[in-house]
Amino acid sequence: MLPIELVIPAALLGILFLYKSSDILIEGTAKTAMKLGISSLVISLTLVAYGTSTPELAISVTAAAQGHPGISYGNIIGSCIANLLLILGIGALIRPMPVERGILRRELLIMIAATALLFLIPLFEILGVPTLVVGAVFLVCFTLYLFYFLRSAMRERKSSNTEHLSKTGKYIFFIIGGIIGVIIGAWLLVESSVSLARFLGVPEIIIALTMVSVGTSLPELVVSSLAAFRKQSDIAIGNIIGSNIFNILLILGLSLLFIPMNATASLVHLTFLLVISLLMIPLMYTGGKLSRLNGICMLLLYSGYLGYLFFSI
């Protein structure tokens, strides 16, 4: 917990880190894709998405290893919901985002399949199967997905030449540096927010349900919002879809190896996540873009979900 006198400076520094690092990250992604002859979507679905999900990885796996399954599980589910409703909603509100690439729609279906796999946790719990088995299933699925995705990406790779390949080092450094900066910025902003909430006497459970899950999604929020503003809809949407796949299959898979999780008490949240994931299908397969009206509806739905959380405490 930060001293109260450091809360405002830490928050301002966090915002600065988030903005500048996201700017560098997006530039590095676009330039690397151009030099390597692959789409920016491929990089945003993998390297950028996994990089911006690092806070979820750190918090969820650490919480599971320390015997706090509720924090680990809740952070992952809450972050996935925030990604789809809050972050995509804000991005669509900033600028309508066209969804043109078939690969993006294919990854959406994979994300929905990964979300459906979450119901294995309460099912196996009822059947008495150790959640360790579910974790292993998730990790195997992630490995297969990564192999399939990279193989497909290489098939769709555009022609490139040696001169272009030799100039990618600087931009890959931009991506890595941008991800590190975004994570530092998110940590500073979350720490300052939690410290202020505790100073004001806000209950910790409310902090966990809101600030932790939204806070760990700050990298996705800033990267996707800035990408939407710059008309890089592939990066904005690809980052969210890739992050959710990463959160569920890898991060939750690793967490389940450490400790059992009581998912039967969270069926409402699992069902809500699956429903909003399914709602992405008509949005992305009809009309060809996420409109501002879609964005407003997403934000209203997320506000309603937060209201449900507060009144159910």
Using one digit for the tens of pLDDT, what is the confidence trace for 103-115? 667 888 999 999 9
- In sequence order, the β-bridge partners of residue 289 are 98
Work out whether strand 97-98 and strand 289-290 pair parallel, antiparallel, or are unpaired.
antiparallel
| The three-state (H, E, C) secondary structure of 43-70, written as one string | HHHHHHHHHHCHHHHHHHHHHHHCCCHH
Is residue 227 within 8 Å of 97, Cβ to Cβ?
no
- For the chain, the average pLDDT equals 80
Report how far residue 7's alpha carbon sits from residue 1's, in angstroms, rounded to the nearest whole number: 9
Report how far residue 279's alpha carbon sits from residue 284's, in angstroms, rounded to the nearest whole number: 9
Please report, in angstroms and rounded to a whole number, the separation of the first and last CA atoms in the chain: 24
Listed as own residue / partner, the contacts of 135-140 with beta carbons closer than 8 Å and 24 or more positions apart are 135/252, 135/253, 135/254, 135/255, 135/256, 135/257, 136/253, 136/257, 137/253, 138/248, 138/249, 138/250, 138/252, 138/253, 138/256, 139/249, 139/250, 139/253, 139/254, 139/257
Report how far residue 105's alpha carbon sits from residue 238's, in angstroms, rounded to the nearest whole number: 10
What fold does the segment set 4-311 form as a domain? Answer: A middle domain of Talin 1 (1.20.1420)
Report how far residue 60's alpha carbon sits from residue 53's, in angstroms, rounded to the nearest whole number: 11
Give the number of C-alpha atoms closer than 13 A to the C-alpha of residue 93, restricted to the C-beta side. 13
Between these two residues, 117 and 57, which has the higher pLDDT value?
117
Where is average pLDDT lowest: 11-15, 153-157, 190-194, 248-252?
153-157
Mean per-residue pLDDT, 197-210: 64
Mean per-residue pLDDT, 3-11: 82
Report whether pLDDT(163) > 60: no
Distances, alpha carbon 249 to alpha carbons 53, 120, 166, 238, 279, in Å: 12, 12, 34, 16, 21
pLDDT attached to residue 203: 58
pTM of the model: 0.79
Distances, alpha carbon 150 to alpha carbons 103, 221, 236, 253, in Å: 12, 25, 20, 20
Closest-CA residue to 108 (of 266, 259, 234): 234
Task: With H, G, I as helix, E, B as strand and everything else as coil, classify residue 289.
Answer: strand
Give the distance, in angstroms, between the CA of residue 92 and the centroid of all CA atoms in the same chain. Answer: 16
